[in-house]
Structures are given as C-alpha cells and as structure tokens.
C-alpha cells in the first residue's frame, strides 16, 4: 500500500470529500480529526481546519481527481475514515458509496463498510478476512506442509493438537545471542504470552511473519503497536491484489472500530488510530519502501542468527523517524 502525494488541487478536493465523510456521522470524532490532521501533515503538507472546509459534490470531486490510482487512494481513505471511530452509521456508508460511484471505483472494501453499517457483522468479517492476508498464510502453510500439516496447524491453533517437533525449532531461539533477530522474536513471544507454531494455541508457521514484522518494524503488541504493524505490513503487501489495504482494515476493524476479526478472540478498542495517526502513515510508508513482501512465503530462517540491525538492513527496512506509544524500546 503506497501513499501517493496529490498536487494541491487534487489534495484540496480530496480533503473536502474526506471531511464530508467524517461529518456524515454527526460531529467529527476526535480520532478521525487526528487521522485527517495526520494525513494533511504527512501526505498533503497542509493544516486546514476541517470544520471550515466547504462540502464538495461527487461530480466536482471527479473533475478534480482524474488519475485512477489517486481516485482509488481517496476512496480507500474514506473507508479508513469510516473505521476510525467505531462502527460507521449507514449515512456514512452512503456518502462513501456516492463518492466512489462518481470516481468510478468499486470493490469489496466499499461493500464491507456497507455491510457493517447495516449491522451485518458476520458478512463484514467474512469480506475482510477473504480479501486480506489470512488466506495467503493458509495457502503458504498448505504449500509447505500439505493438507495434513495444515490440519495440524489449525488444530494446534484451536488448542487441540500440539506438534512438539514443530515447536522445538522455535524454542531453540532461546539460546541464540540476545541481540539476534531470533532471540528478539523469542522474547516477543514469551514476554507477551504468545504460543509458537506447534505449541497449543500457536499460529501456523506461515503466519509467523506477523511477529517478525513486530520485531523488525519495532512495534509492540499493544493496540497502538498492532495498529502500526498493520500499517507496516500493508505497506510491504503493495504487490498483492488489494495492495495491502485489507491488512490495514483488519487492524483498524479490531483496534479502531471495535470488531474482533480473529479466530482466537482478542480485546478490541475504539479509535486507537487517532493516537498514532501520523506514525501510522509513517509505518505504511516504511513498509512500502521495502523490496520484499515478508508475507509472500518469506524464508525467515537465514535471518534468525543475524543481529537485529543487520537483518533490518538486509531486508531494506527504513529506520523509524517517529516514535511514541506502540513502539518497542
């Protein structure tokens, strides 16, 4: 998910439309204000007061924004805004749809918001999960371990059938030098009570890239850190059909809209993105600058013995220039 910088005319029109989407649920929520303020600073280089921006008609927006890729980014931004402060009302979904129609943009991200606004949470969840990163992880697990291995991984996740042979390879990271990538990942798991692949409740090995991303990106597993790592992963999944969008929507659904999409059940939150808004954009951009998609069947084993900073360098991960809540020390 790459962030495009519009020209001043495009940016002004897009911001007016995003402000209209934000206003469509009544008073603009604080987390949404923070998100749009960060977008102005990080993407547009402006500092307009949202309440002073005049509305914009869909046809006027379409005349101002012609580039297809920028039209898609604007509509995706509207979807993100709709998930930034709890579940969206139908009025907000309707505004997003009107703008999307005028821009000639359609896709599952728009229908997902409409399903949620209609209180069809089950179909919303299915839409986000079907179009996001979880199916890719299951496909990779099947590719490497076959149907039986995939079944074992799923049973282990459900706490039904641990696989000590699989978990032993990961538990060995405890003995690595403390500054190696593997040792950092080991501490990430153990200090937060997570289970390795093969342990009871552990995710399939194909999903371990998520926890590597926490460590490599420098984001902890708090709601703030999960929001940031979701942006980071969305950035490096640019080459996927959804360009990483649904990875971002996955974390925003859980930690800003308050809807748990996981198979294991996690605590949810509302409006978290507002507290990390500028760093969320920074995380997306860091991920988008990487030359490798860690979720695309990435072989992490050659990296676990490397010092963390060397692993980051070899993977082309840009340094963080913004820090705050959600970051690892």
The beta strands (E) that lie in 183-241 are given as: none
| CA pair distance 11, 282, nearest whole angstrom | 18
pLDDT value, residue 148: 52
Q: Which residues pair with 257 in a beta bridge?
A: 270
The segment(s) of the chain belonging to CATH 1.10.3680 are 8-119
> Cβ distance 5 to 281 under 8 Å?
no
Whether the per-residue pLDDT at 205 is higher than 90: the answer is no
Q: What is the mean pLDDT of residues 145-172?
A: 66
Whether the per-residue pLDDT at 159 is higher than 70: the answer is no
Nearest alpha carbon to residue 76 among 231, 246, 235: 246
pLDDT value, residue 131: 86
Q: Which residue do the tokens 């590719």 mark?
A: 143
Q: What is the mean pLDDT of the chain?
A: 91
Q: Per-residue confidence at 132, pLDDT binned at 50, 70, 90?
A: confident
Token pair in block for residue 195: 């289970």
The beta strands (E) that lie in 101-165 are given as: none
Token pair in block for residue 41: 């600073």
Using a pLDDT cut of 90, give the percent of the chain over it. 81
Q: Which residues pair with 270 in a beta bridge?
A: 257
pLDDT value, residue 129: 87
Whether the per-residue pLDDT at 198 is higher than 80: the answer is yes
Whether the per-residue pLDDT at 83 is higher than 70: the answer is yes
Q: Per-residue confidence at 142, pLDDT binned at 50, 70, 90?
A: very low
Q: Per-residue confidence at 130, pLDDT binned at 50, 70, 90?
A: confident
Whether the per-residue pLDDT at 61 is higher than 80: the answer is yes
Reduced to 3 states (helix: H, G, I; strand: E, B; else coil), residue 152 is helix
Whether the per-residue pLDDT at 237 is higher than 90: the answer is yes
**CATH hierarchy code of domain 8-119:** 1.10.3680
Helices (H) and strands (E) in the chain, counts: 16, 0
Token pair in block for residue 90: 């139908």
> Cβ distance 17 to 99 under 8 Å?
yes
The beta strands (E) that lie in the chain are given as: none
Least confident of 43-52, 92-101, 202-211: 202-211
């Amino acid at each position: 998910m790459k962030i495009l910088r519009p020209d001043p005319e495009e940016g002004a029109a897009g911001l007016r439309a995003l402000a209209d989407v934000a206003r469509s649920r009544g008073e603009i929520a604080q987390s949404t204000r923070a998100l749009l303020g960060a977008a102005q600073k990080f993407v547009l280089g402006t500092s307009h007061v949202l309440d002073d921006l005049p509305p914009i008609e869909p046809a006027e927006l379409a005349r101002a924004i012609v580039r297809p890729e920028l039209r898609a980014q604007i509509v995706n931004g509207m979807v993100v805004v709709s998930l930034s402060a709890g579940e969206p009302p139908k009025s907000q979904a309707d505004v997003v749809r009107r703008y999307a129609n005028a821009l000639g943009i359609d896709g599952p991200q728009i229908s997902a918001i409409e399903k949620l606004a209609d209180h069809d949470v089950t179909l919303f969840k299915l839409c986000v999960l079907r179009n996001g990163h979880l199916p890719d992880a299951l496909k990779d697990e099947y590719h490497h371990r076959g149907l039986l291995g995939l079944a074992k991984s799923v049973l282990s996740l459900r706490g039904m059938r641990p696989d000590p042979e699989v978990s032993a390879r990961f538990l060995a990271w405890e003995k690595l030098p403390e500054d190696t990538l593997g040792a950092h990942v080991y501490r990430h798991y153990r200090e937060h009570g997570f289970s390795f692949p093969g342990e009871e409740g552990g995710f399939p090995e194909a999903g371990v890239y998520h926890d590597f991303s926490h460590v490599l990106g420098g984001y902890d597993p708090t709601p703030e850190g999960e929001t940031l790592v979701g942006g980071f992963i969305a950035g490096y999944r640019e080459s996927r059909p959804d360009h990483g969008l649904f990875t971002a929507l996955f974390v925003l659904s859980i930690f800003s809209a308050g809807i748990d999409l996981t198979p294991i059940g996690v605590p949810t939150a509302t409006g978290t993105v507002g507290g990390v808004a500028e760093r969320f954009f920074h995380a997306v951009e860091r991920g988008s600058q990487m030359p490798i998609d860690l979720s695309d069947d990435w072989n992490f084993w050659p990296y676990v013995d490397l010092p963390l900073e060397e692993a980051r360098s070899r993977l082309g991960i840009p340094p963080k220039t913004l820090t705050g809540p959600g970051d690892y020390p």
